[in-house]
Amino acid sequence: MSSLKLLCLPYSGASAMVYSRWRRKLPTWLQVQPVELPGRGARMGEPLQTDLRALARQLAQEQRLTASEPYALFGHSLGALLAFELVHELQALGCPAPVALFASGTAAPRRREDYDGRNWREPKSDSELIAQLRELQGTPEEVLANEELMSLTLPVLRADFLLCGRYEYVRRPLLRCPLHVLAGAADRASDEQLRAWGEETEGEQTLAMFPGGHFFIHEQEEQVFEVIAQALEERRQTSRPLSLAR
């Protein structure tokens, strides 16, 4: 294949804009396509969703034409869980399997209860959400102190946490694609929770660890790009399975 599309799904509280610079940083043969979720960015006027599988079905209908050509998916945190469900929904519509799925910054779907303890099944207060943002260390204090920005961000974050907290894993046939897991060494997902992603596919599975915490994808951006580009370049040039150093 001469080129392929990379659908990128954002983490909780974010819009597709978090991936906008990826278009300039990744190889030109890789067409980065950030996927905007309802209720943010260009889709600000649409209602926020709190049912993750329903959201995946909606996105599958929107992306089915894109998925008729060679494509891969990348998702971080909430985005990884959503990308996983999106692949299943696309395949249910008859779309081909992706070239690869990159799941970043979270435990495997079947290990969600171990990971978050169902702590986010009910809506959280503004103060609880801000405390969580501080714990994740991905939001500058000046942003947290900006009431106008927070008034826009917190409703999205609250809905996104409900997407994760209310998610119910359903066992289905294994995916038919390589599944590459990326994680920060100081993030809270355990090695066992990360490696459980490998139970979701009959394709190759790899795990790449990076220095840093939950937002290692920004802290170690160049290294993340290298892993993605290496995997997809190899896949672009040959039909043999991908092979990444663990």
Active-site residue, 68 included = no
- Active-site residue identified among 12, 15, 77, 104: 77
Q: Please give the backbone phi and psi of residue 95, each rounded to the nearest 5 degrees, phi first.
A: -75, 150
Which of 10, 43, 12, 60 is closest to 165 using CA atoms? Answer: 12
Radius of gyration of the chain (CA): 17
The DSSP letter of residue 64 is T
**Which pair of tokens denotes residue 109?**
């779907």
**Which pair of tokens denotes residue 17?**
């804009």
Name, in order, each residue with C-beta under 8 angstroms of 35's C-beta and a sequence gap of 6 or more: 7, 8, 9, 10, 16, 59, 63
Across 200-224, b (16+ Cβ under 10 Å) vs e yields: bbebbbbbbebebbbbbbebbeebb
Known catalytic residues?
Answer: 77
